[in-house]
């Protein structure tokens, strides 16, 4: 086995497709302005976001697959 071989069991679990630390509060402010977050959250707070990208060839109304770990990240 070469030194650059990756063994899947040794890989850290995937947390999300994109992680973003909103250091300046720009994304948080935009989400508040558009009504996706409640106004009592300060746009000056440093919030970390985990963004999962889902695609489909079906209609937008079609359900998509989400595993249990992804669901738990949303509700926690």
Segments making up each domain of the chain, as ranges? 16-75
Say whether pLDDT at 3 is over 60.
no
Mean pLDDT of 35-48: 80
Strands annotated E in 1-76:
18-22, 47-51
Among 57, 6, 49, which residue's Cα sits nearest to residue 26?
Answer: 49
Instruction: List, for residues 48-74, the tens digit of each pLDDT value.
Output: 888 888 888 888 888 888 788 778 877
Instruction: Report pTM.
Output: 0.60
pLDDT at 6: 45
**φ, ψ of residue 21 in degrees (nearest 5):** -95, 115
């Amino acid at each position: 086995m070469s030194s650059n071989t990756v063994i899947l069991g040794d890989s850290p679990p995937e947390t999300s497709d994109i992680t973003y630390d909103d250091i300046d509060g720009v994304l948080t402010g935009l989400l508040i302005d558009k009504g996706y977050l409640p106004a009592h959250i300060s746009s000056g707070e440093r919030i970390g976001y985990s963004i999962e990208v889902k695609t489909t060839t079906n209609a937008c109304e079609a359900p998509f697959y989400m595993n249990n770990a992804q669901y738990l990240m949303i509700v926690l």
